[in-house]
A and B are shown apart, each in its own frame.
Chain A
């Protein structure tokens, strides 16, 4: 008796699998698509080789003065030469370890918050948020045994980070209160909060900074004079609080009414209802939104150039107009763009990851 023997499977057509298949499906599926591919390749050809030529192949990497730079390529010597200033501003040379230590403390202190296995993460996080600002202020500003460094000497990336972090840290509690106020049942509170939020959201940050630098001194009694940096921080905090408030309101609105009613049925008062039931859920929902607000704030810190603070961007801008290094504006701005880009892109990726992770709990 003969048994039927199956022939081995034919391999799939070579044109639909592997590299060729991928190319056919994604780049050359029809005439129009092919034309687009050609256009794209042409665009890449137009842009990429000159950029690589300028930034890498023809670039000058070592030296100390502008004479070490040739005309064709990028002059990264300029960046190397001024890097310290871009990072620390005019912070005294001998004291810069304090800035490094502040950053190190921030990173090391924050690590446990991101370790998901750690018990009582939230308590640790709150403790960290309460302790760290004092430590950072003491390290950066001095006093109690450390040499005092005036805020006018702060600058560079360090100042950018200070403004961004203080801005968001100050804006969070204020923004949450405003969001709660906007959803309050008491008309007077609601009107006050809505007015506050809509006012700050309706004006550009630049006018707010102008206001903080020329109007704040008029608003306060003669004898009180506020530090320039502090004025900027107040402006940024109030401004961002309005945006945070809108983000948090989105989260509050997304919490089903049943949660409020259940909390009420348990006999919780307003603050306990919010603090124990509603806000933990709402804030978790809006973490990506808060990170996005922080990214916007990080980019907005560059505006302090208007009131003459030397943040990262202003330090670089000042260096490009320095007669000793005239003509290297492109290098300076490209470097600045790269630094901002790394921070913003990193945070946006983190926010996307969070979004995915947090989303799972609410999928139906």
Chain B
């Protein structure tokens, strides 16, 4: 007679039980992190006490007492450090937004040129990409600032483009629009035109889905957008008066002044980032397999619609994620502005304010958390977008 089968005897000790080991490791890891954190905190406390540095965020309400080269909001020397933070943040965002717009335009043009059947054009685009993405952005900023813009002539001998654009050592002078009589009528007309466009687009789509007939939405929209504001301007008078910079004495008056620091950093970051964007665009377009083009052609589509309806939607799916990470890089690289004295968040807050107040931990923490917040929110947005457009496979 056979013995009844029993289960294998459990012999392992607690040391080899994976569950217990996992717990032990995690407890150990957390304990190490807490211990290191506490050690640093303790040291910091004693160091701060020893050096007589106050801590806390009360300094944000103290008057700053220094001037700022460029500010998008009203700022005087008597304003608080809190306001300085706001000025710096806005300046950082200004550089970032300008840089993103220009870099995207250059990047897409160069990326498409890279794929051009024209040999010369594609070589030129490759040259652009290879040159600019292999030179440190900081070096490019310094080049534009110190070698080009600082070497500009004084206001009297400005480089002029027509009668309204001037470039000299003090910066770039542009004509500035100011609201005139017809401004509100113009704005209302523009709003009506935009609303009309949206309505037309929706109606056209519904009609196409119902009857299959097409409607020239783009042309209608453009016509609306041009005609209505022009009509408003004719009826109510010119919407803007242009304040053109003019040379009076030793300097220009009127118009917008773009300080050389801003010009240098925008130019350098756009050119640098555009080289990466161009490569992303190229690889995105190449990632759409040739079979797609052939299939579209065999359906009878013409080159324009093929590009618009087949290639670009699929290429965008590949392009957008790395494109956003380039945008993020540009935002982070905008902190290089500090090196040439453009008053961005890092220069103002981690530089001047830190030096004045000595509150290193608070200022650096605030600066870092701003960048962290920007990064995390963009990557959350990105993840959401990625989920939405991801290929739904069977």
Chain A residues close to B by CB (< 8 Å): 26-27, 29, 33, 36-37, 39-41, 43-44, 185-189, 192, 198-199, 201-207, 210-211, 214-215, 217-222, 295, 299-300, 302-303, 305-306, 313, 317, 320, 329-330, 333-334, 336-337, 340-341, 344-345, 348
Contact = CB atoms under 8 A, between A and B. Distances in A.
Contacts of A210: 346, 350, 354, 364, 367
B120 A29 contact: no
Contacts of B118: 26-27, 33, 36-37, 40
Interface stretch (B21-29, B208-216, B311-319): B21-29
Given A203-B372, A204-B346, A333-B143, A344 B332 contact: no
29 contacts: A26-B117, A40-B121, A40-B124, A43-B124, A186-B25, A188-B26, A188-B27, A188-B29, A192-B29, A192-B33, A199-B372, A205-B332, A206-B336, A206-B339, A210-B367, A214-B360, A214-B364, A218-B43, A218-B361, A220-B43, A221-B43, A299-B135, A305-B339, A313-B136, A313-B138, A329-B143, A330-B143, A330-B151, A336-B139
A340 B120 contact: no
Contact of A340 (B27, B139, B333, B372): B139
B29 A189 contact: yes
A207 B47 contact: no
A305 B141 CA distance: 13
A302 B139 contact: yes
Contacts of A188: 26-27, 29-30
**B-side interface size class:** 35 or more
Contacts of A204: 332-333, 335-336, 346, 371
B172 to A, nearest CB: 20
B375 A341 contact: no
A204 B133 CA distance: 18
Given A201-B375, A207-B350, A185 B135 contact: no
A340 B22 contact: no
A341 B127 CA distance: 12
Contact of B135 (A26, A219, A341): A341
Contact of A219 (B44, B120, B368): B44
Nearest to B355: A214
A109 B33 CA distance: 38
B85 interface: no
A219 B42 CA distance: 8
Contact of A207 (B27, B117, B335): B335
B364 A345 contact: no
B183 interface: no
Contacts, number: 155
A310 B233 CA distance: 59
B131 A44 contact: no
A352 to B, nearest CB: 11
A196 B119 CA distance: 46
A303 B350 contact: no
Nearest to A300: B136
B72 to A, nearest CB: 21
A36 B121 contact: yes
A206 B335 CA distance: 7
Nearest to B371: A203
B371 A202 contact: yes
B142 A333 contact: yes
Given A198-B376, A219-B40, A303-B138, A189 B26 contact: yes
B130 interface: yes
Nearest to B148: A330
Contacts of A221: 43
B120 A40 contact: yes
Nearest to A217: B47
A317 B354 CA distance: 25
B121 to A, nearest CB: 5
B179 to A, nearest CB: 38
Contacts of B135: 299, 337, 340-341, 344
Contacts of B22: 185-186
B116 interface: yes
Nearest to B131: A341
A258 B134 CA distance: 39
Interface in B123-161: 124, 130-131, 133-140, 142-143, 146-147, 150-151
Nearest to B334: A204
Given A40-B120, A186-B22, A220-B43, A203 B368 contact: yes
Nearest to A330: B147
Given A37-B118, A203-B375, A210-B367, 17 more contacts: A27-B119, A27-B120, A40-B118, A186-B22, A188-B27, A192-B33, A207-B346, A210-B350, A215-B361, A221-B43, A222-B50, A313-B136, A313-B138, A337-B140, A340-B136, A340-B139, A344-B135
Q: Which 9 A-B pairs have the closest CB atoms?
A: A202-B375, A344-B134, A188-B26, A26-B119, A204-B332, A299-B136, A40-B120, A204-B335, A329-B147
Nearest to A328: B147
B146 A203 contact: no
A189 B25 contact: yes
Given A189-B29, A207-B367, A320 B360 contact: no
A54 to B, nearest CB: 12
A186 B372 contact: no
Nearest to B36: A219
Contacts of B371: 202-204, 207
Name the residue in A210, A211, A220 with the highest tally of chain B Cβ atoms < 10 Å from its Cβ: A210
A204 B346 CA distance: 10
B288 interface: no
A43 B131 CA distance: 16
A207 B338 CA distance: 10
Nearest to A32: B118
Nearest to B333: A204
B222 interface: no
B346 A317 contact: no
Nearest to A301: B136
B198 interface: no
Most buried by B among A201, A204, A303: A204
A205 B346 CA distance: 11
B247 interface: no
Given A27-B118, A206-B336, A329 B151 contact: yes
